[in-house]
Amino acid sequence: MKDKIGFIKNIIICIYDLMLLFSILFFLSLPLVSFTSGEVISNNIFYQLYLLIIILAYYIWFWVNHNQTLGMKSWKIILLNKDGTRNITITKCILRILFAVLGGHLLLLIHKKSLHDLISGTYMARIE
């Protein structure tokens, strides 16, 4: 593996993954919208939990099984533990997601690692 990636590439990967995730959320919401005759269901707690489960499943499944999301794969980036191993746990995935949502990427502006990487004990590196 090569060196760690920087802020700009990290943000580009996040945007790419968010576009893919938006598409997944859109298509998995279509059946629910058809059952409600097109009415807005966004204020329904069960719908919000449904979306949250999809988001968590997307990241957890890709990180645990492949060590990279589709956005990371496009940029030839892989997620590793701080010791360089590939066995990412579900707990580490949840910590990464939680602290990334809380602004973990901002630490990359002044530090070489993001907040969610520091807390979860992971880092993203380029694939040779």
Note the pLDDT of residue 4: 66
Note the pLDDT of residue 49: 92
In whole angstroms, what is the distance from residue 58 CA to residue 60 CA?
A: 6
| 54-73: burial string, b at 16+ Cβ within 10 Å, e else | ebeebbbebbbeebbbebbb
Q: Is residue 1 part of a domain?
A: no
39-52: pLDDT as tens digits: 767 678 888 899 99
Q: Is residue 31 part of a domain?
A: yes
Q: Is residue 38 part of a domain?
A: yes
**Ranges assigned E (strand) in 1-128:** 77-81, 122-126
- Which two structure tokens, joined as six digits, stand for 37? 């005759």
pTM score, two decimals?
A: 0.86
Measured torsion, CA atoms of residues 103, 108, 111, 114, in degrees rounded to the nearest 10:
60
What pLDDT band is residue 3 in, cutting at 50, 70 and 90?
A: low
Note the pLDDT of residue 70: 93
Number of structural domains (the chain) is: 1
Note the pLDDT of residue 2: 55
Domain containing 52 equals 7-126
Note the pLDDT of residue 38: 66
Q: Is residue 71 part of a domain?
A: yes
Q: Is residue 114 part of a domain?
A: yes
Q: Is residue 104 part of a domain?
A: yes
In whole angstroms, what is the distance from residue 10 CA to residue 116 CA?
A: 12
Q: Is residue 2 part of a domain?
A: no
